[in-house]
Homo-oligomer: A and B are copies of this chain.
Amino acid sequence: MQDYNLTVYYEDTDAQGVVYYANYLKFFERARTEYLRECGYEQMKLMQEGIIFVVRGVEMKLQKPARLDDVLVIKSQLIKLGKVSFDFLQKAYLEKELITQAKIQCGSLDVKSFKPSALPEYLQSSMKKLL
């Protein structure tokens, strides 16, 4: 598990004065990217190898709002790893209180056909250690 910190800016909020619900998915993606970067995952390199990661499913619960200037901590955990798919559990905390969480189901696709394509060996083995 790795912590990713971010600050809430105007761009993240809406007229209710809180973070707009879709934007948690941006926060979670930033955190996943950094989490996987630690495993040797580089999106641009992967794309050149013909592989992209996509999100295929989201189960998100929004429990408490976050506001402008709040600092959120995102904790990401790989919870399932298959050959062409993998799942994360990601949680956003505000001052140690859980405010939003999501299970994110990802898939590995061929960049041209958009059909499932196995995770590269090196990534599969380094991700296995995260489970």
A68 to chain B, nearest CB (A): 5
Binds B, one of A7-15, A77-85, A86-94, A118-126: A7-15
Q: Tell me what chain A mostly uses at the interface: helix, strand, loop, or mixed.
A: mixed
Given contacts A14-B14, A114-B65, contact A55 B21 (CB under 8 A): yes
* Interfacial chain B residues near A9, Cβ < 8 Å: 26, 29-30, 33
A10 to chain B, nearest CB (A): 4
Q: How many residues of A are counted as interface, with CB atoms below 8 angstroms from the partner's CB atoms?
A: 41
* Interfacial chain B residues near A15, Cβ < 8 Å: 10, 13-15, 17-18, 47, 67-68
Q: How far is the CA of A13 from the CA of B13 in the complex (A)?
A: 7
